[in-house]
Structure 1
């Protein structure tokens, strides 16, 4: 389980280095490595990661299939922490945020519904995640040419990113601001 999770985390490094197709291959390898040894929550996390990386690689059909797989294996209930792997946090609210993120990356109109659901259910102690959620909302509104709403979410995202010191989200806000 730990090797699968660490391998998937490395897929994000590949993506950040401009290699999204390789990142998709690596997250799929992580799923193979975990095999039958993974908890359902970790399986869902890996599928959600695959979906996000597929969206970034411009693979919309694969993205949607991975989101459906994540939804199918994620345990029900509000509990987020995986008892078998304490570093994994994922419940329906978190998955809605991840779905919205991936769909926003694709420019899909369905992104907003998932993102606003996630915002309503967001744990206020997950400040960095809320910054990312606000970035996703800004991106989804920009895709619909709704600049006022996008700017509102960018301002909130910037405040939260500054509060947590997140360089990644500060950079993302700046990239979104350039699209206004």
Structure 2
């Protein structure tokens, strides 16, 4: 495909103030994070696995079929509860967002409740592990210092235990979308 683009995540945190933007660079244009471009999120430490939803629950899995590619593709949109952060909307279920519920990451239909908006808003932060410039970690808006991480291939929202394993499990590489 001719659509080759580079995603660059910029995150500057100083005294609790965070400024960030995702820039999608194509051959002829630069678009901001709010362009609703689709992306996929690859696990940092299990590089054959991507964030996906299956039966409305968040997992990381190898992707081998069209349904998997659709389930593993999201739009990064302005945060439902805070425009300085982001929400992740499903491409194959428009109006459904990744959110945490009882600390498990699920795909849920958007409802007009403040708790839902907060649960579905994540601040994209510098990666917790590694040196890949396209990797990031996703911190909960309403549970600061809690990050999306995979554990037993399921996605959970948890605080860091300080281990390298946690930092690896909570780091994801933003990639071209698996489904177009």
For normalisation by structure 2, the TM-score amounts to 0.29
Greater strand share, structure number: 2
Q: Which has the higher contact order (CA 8 A, sep 6+)?
A: 2
Mark the structure with the bigger radius of gyration. Answer: 1
Greater helix share, structure number: 1
For normalisation by structure 1, the TM-score amounts to 0.29
